[in-house]
Structure 1
Amino acid sequence: MKTLILAGGMGTRLAEETAIRPKPMVEIGGKPILWHLMNIYAAHGFAEFVVALGYKGEAIKEYFLNFHALNANLTVDLTTGRHTSQPGAPVPWVVHLVDTGAQTQTGGRIKRLEAWLGEDDTFFMTYGDGLGNVDLQALYAFHKRHGKLATITAVRPPARFGGLSLEGDEVVRFDEKPQTGEGWINGGFFVLDRRVLDYISGDATLWELDPLEKLARDGQLHAFRHEGFWQPMDTLREKHLLETLWESGRAPWKVWP
């Protein structure tokens, strides 16, 4: 079962980083956020990826073309230019990198990947800029049980500001960025039947508008409620939050060994 990852947007709200690289290549702990996301899926047994490229997609191609060299010890003979590598543990992923156009919208990118689904009738789809400790096996089982065309992972929105717990005037607990506990929003991490492609008209289609709205009206969209950690990386502040969690050794999305 394949995982489609939308990695072609410009990431304008993170311009400090995305002026020189696509957002999925922005690093958390020295690794692209795309690497973290793929590790989440692979930890649950889903290790074949189809990545929809667009803005600065060549940077993502270069990363995976040089993946072994970047993640191995190297010996270079500067006299001859010859080099040998001593790779670590193998990474059993298959990664398809597909140019889906610089200006194509999210729905259009999904539609352009249809041929890459092969024989698969069901596939995962997510965005290349959000992390969470979603139980993907449970998500997939939920999708199979309800039998509809689409499952969206519903998450609690993170609060904009830190949360305080008070006893009198004393702060007894501070949470840097808690979830609000109010309402549900689109957290990505979709499971989709390939028939959802019929809801997408072309490159200009935003997945989050007509297709999802029509699927909901048709009774074909169910929500998998995720109460655990979820965090997008839309701003430099959110990038720093993820970085801090990773460096602390307490990154909730690290579900792999």
Structure 2
Amino acid sequence: MKVVLFCGGFGTRIREYSESIPKPMIPVGQQPILRHIMHYYSQYGHRDFVLCLGYKADVIKDYFLKLNRWANSDLVISNYGEQVDILGQQPPDWKIALVDTGMWRNIGQRLLAVRHLVADEEIFLANYSDGLCDVPLDDMIERFRKSDKIGCFLAVHPPFNFHLVEFTDAETVRRFRSSQEAEIWINGGYFIFRNRIFDYIREGEELVLEPFSRLMEDGALMAYKYEGFWRAMDTLRDRQVLEEMAERGETPWRPNCVD
């Protein structure tokens, strides 16, 4: 199953990094967050990727052009360097389409730009490329397959708590409630689509606005609610949390990977 990864945004909320590299290339541990996400899908057998590039597309292209299968593996080198053998688990064999979808396109238009690359896929996966989670992907896909829906997104709780304000009138505060108490769910950026999603997207439209509204009108959109680990990298604080987890060896999004 092909995986479409949206890698073209500016990452303005984490500008300290994104001024020099695109957001998906910001490192978590020793690897860019993009590579962690690709490993997540790879461990479920999905190794055919379509990367929708935009801002600093050359940085991502250069990374994969220079990537070799020995870089993060233990090796045995013999015959004066002529023979290289990998010890232990082999790195995954990925097929990666690197498509420059433009600097200023939104996610809906980036998806339209790679429509031809998923034309033969009855179902395909998609991801914002800025968040990590340990959702059981096989179960998420199976529930979607059994449904008659056209789109599915991962629904998660915000990883932080904030106070909601209720009013009795325009100015008088009635009470505060915590966001956890209110059972708030947000879009986690992990998607599954049937190919008919393209019938719902018009020129210029953002993916989760008009197209998702049409899906909801037709009863064709579902959410996979998940209360396990999820964290988006929207701010420097988010990146710090993920970096500290990686330093401790806590990588629930990649439990079976050594690379």
Q: Give the TM-score category using the shorter length.
A: 0.7 to 0.9
TM-score where L is the length of structure 1: 0.84
The Cα RMSD (Å) is 2.1
Residue number in structure 1 paired with 2:174: none
Taking structure 1 as reference, are residues 23 and 98 closer, same or farther at Cα in structure 2, changes over 3 Å only?
same
CA contact (8 A) 2:42 2:92 kept: no
The answer as to 2:188 corresponding to 1:184 is no
Taking structure 1 as reference, are residues 183 and 32 closer, same or farther at Cα in structure 2, changes over 3 Å only?
same
Deviations 1:128-179 (CA, angstroms, capped at 9, x unpaired): 1011001110011010111211111111111157xxxxxxxxxxxxxxxxx9
Q: Which sections of structure 2, spanning at least 5 residues, go unmatched? A: 163-178
Q: Matched residue of 2:189: which SS?
A: coil
d(CA) in 1 for partners of 2:82, 2:105: 40
Q: In the alignment, residue 14 of structure 1 is paired with which amino acid? A: I
TM-score where L is the length of structure 2: 0.84
CA contact (8 A) 2:134 2:253 kept: yes
Residue number in structure 2 paired with 1:106: 107
Residue number in structure 1 paired with 2:149: 148
Q: Matched residue of 1:104: which SS?
A: coil
d(CA) in 1 for partners of 2:157, 2:84: 43
d(CA) in 2 for partners of 1:248, 1:218: 46
d(CA) in 2 for partners of 1:11, 1:256: 29
Residue number in structure 2 paired with 1:224: 224
CA contact (8 A) 1:39 1:256 kept: no
Residue number in structure 1 paired with 2:29: 29
Deviations 1:79-104 (CA, angstroms, capped at 9, x unpaired): xxxx9784743421111111101000
Deviations 1:164-219 (CA, angstroms, capped at 9, x unpaired): xxxxxxxxxxxxxxx946211101211101111121112x3211211112111210
Residue number in structure 1 paired with 2:206: 206
What is the count of residue pairs matched by the alignment?
Answer: 232
Residue number in structure 2 paired with 1:158: 159
| Misfit runs of 4+, over 3 Å | 69-73, 83-88
Q: In the alignment, residue 115 of structure 1 is paired with which amino acid? A: H
The answer as to 2:13 corresponding to 1:13 is yes
Q: In the alignment, residue 60 of structure 2 is paired with which amino acid? A: I
Identity level (%): 38
Q: In the alignment, residue 38 of structure 1 is paired with which amino acid? A: M
Residue number in structure 2 paired with 1:170: none
Stretch of structure 1 that moved more, 134-143 or 114-123: 114-123
